[in-house]
Amino acid sequence: MSEIKLQDNLFTISTSPHIRADASISKIMWTVNLALAPAALFAIYHFGIPALIILLAGSLSAVGFEYIVQKLRKKPITITDGSAFLTGLLLAMCLPPAIPAYMAIIGSFIAIVIAKHSMGGLGYNIFNPAHIGRAALMVSWPIAMTTWTTLSGKVDVVSSATPLSILKLDGYDKLISTFGSAPQMYKAMLIGARNGSIGETSTILLMLGGIYLIYKGYANWVVPVFMIGTVGILTWICGPAGLFSGDPLFHMMAGGLIIGAFFMATDMVTIPITKKGQIIFAIGAGALTVLIRLKGGYPEGVCYSILLMNAVTPLIDRFMKPVKFGARG
């Protein structure tokens, strides 16, 4: 016999396969958190300490609520997997920088306790928890959620209103004149030197994070491409001065579209599981966003359009099954 002593000469048995890839939920979640980090850090630089406080309040309270719920439900504590932290962080990034911290904490409560755990916890929630938290705050404190105080950030914030609300209230010409010129506006939108929710302003940093996720295989490229593309095409077609007079570039970078398309509409749990289904989801979310922006009462519609598409996700999954091998004969 070999030198190595074998315990009882018995080995573990189980059915195949016997090897697994080095993948885990916590790896995915922390990678998404990491991908959000550049935009979050920029937000702190841009909006100052109040943004940092909201980011911390949102993410840490989400982790705390998850711990309490799992303790009460007598479930394994999974707060280290990064998913609650991610929900809180995403929620905070979608809030205005001047909001009181307690509102962010209440948003986290709604996101974690109601949207996530009352549905059964990670994997069972139908709606994106961060967006549910945001939507609940929106109906509860509409003023606080739409007050865009100019903050003492390092980057000059040109207006106390968000670009989308200027567009809604004063029109496209006023929007351009606020920034000086169209190229200056695009530059500000790309870098993030504009007003808006904490984490949504920097197009370039959010895209960087999103592309990193796609590269790591944790997000699907079809969702952001189809969602942002749909918004671009529809806003170009439905312009203020007739067909094909819109400004797609502005609309694609405005509001919460970039963070929504790269980080919310790619939330695995709440979107269709097949690629075909994800395309339908993304086009639907993009089209609803445009509908709300151009025809609705709100200046921005990314949050509601993603939530609405979350609702039809089970339906999309039912009809968009993968085609089995050999079905085509």
Partner 1 sequence: MIKSFRGGIHPNDNKRYTAGKSIEIAILPSKVIIPVRQHIGAPCSPIVAKGDLVKKGQVIASSEAFVSSPVHASLSGVVTDVNEYPHPVFGKCLSIVIENDGKDEWIEGIPVERDFEKLNDNEIKDIIKEAGIVGMGGATFPTHVKLSPPKEKKIDTLIINAAECEPFLTADHRMMLEYSEKIVTGVKIVMKVLGVQKGYVGIEDNKPDAVSIMQKAFQGTTVEVVAIPTKYPQGAEKMLIKVLADREVPSGSLPMDVGVVVQNVGTIVAIYDAVIKGIPLIQRVTTISGSAVKEPKNLLLRLGTTFKDAIDSCGGFVEPPAKIIMGGPMMGFAQSNLDISIIKGVSGILALNEKDINTGTQSPCIRCGKCVSVCPCGLNPSMLSILGEKDMYEEAKLEQNLFDCAECGSCVYVCPAKRNIVQYIRYSKMKNNADAAKKKEALVK
Which range, of 36-44, 65-73, 197-205, 271-279, touches partner 1 by CB under 8 A?
271-279
How far apart (Å, rounded) are the C-alpha atoms in residues 47 and 199?
10
DSSP state of 199: T
How far apart (Å, rounded) are the C-alpha atoms in residues 21 and 88?
29
* Sign of the C-alpha dihedral computed for residues 277, 283, 284 and 285 taken in this order: positive
Site string for partner 1, 93-132 (x = CB under 8 A): ---------------------------xxxxx--------
Report, in Å, the least distance between residue 266 CB and partner 1: 10
Please identify which residue in the block is written with the tokens 């609705």.
Answer: 296
Which range, of 43-51, 158-166, 186-194, 215-223, touches partner 1 by CB under 8 A?
215-223
Report, in Å, the least distance between residue 29 CB and partner 1: 9
How far apart (Å, rounded) are the C-alpha atoms in residues 304 and 145?
15
How far apart (Å, rounded) are the C-alpha atoms in residues 226 and 120?
30
- Residue type at 88 in one-letter notation: G
Name the residue nearer to partner 1 (CB basis): 171 or 217. Answer: 217
Which range, of 5-13, 33-41, 136-144, 295-303, touches partner 1 by CB under 8 A?
5-13
Q: Binders of partner 1: how many residues, by CB under 8 A?
A: 52
Contact 49, 157 (CB under 8 A): no
Site string for partner 1, 63-92 (x = CB under 8 A): ---------------x--------------
Examine residue 9 and tell whether it contacts partner 1 (CB under 8 A): yes
Which range, of 15-23, 86-94, 148-156, 188-196, touches partner 1 by CB under 8 A?
15-23
**What phi, psi does 69 have (nearest 5°)?**
-60, -45
Examine residue 27 and tell whether it contacts partner 1 (CB under 8 A): yes
Which range, of 2-10, 38-46, 92-100, 104-112, touches partner 1 by CB under 8 A?
2-10
Q: How many Cα neighbours within 13 Å face the side chain of 174?
A: 12
Examine residue 328 and tell whether it contacts partner 1 (CB under 8 A): yes
Name the residue nearer to partner 1 (CB basis): 24 or 140. Answer: 24
SS3 44: helix
Contact 167, 175 (CB under 8 A): yes
Closest by CA position to 235, among listed 162, 155, 302: 302
- Applying CB under 8 A, which residues contact partner 1? 1-7, 9-25, 27-28, 78, 120-124, 217-218, 220, 268-271, 273-275, 317, 321-329
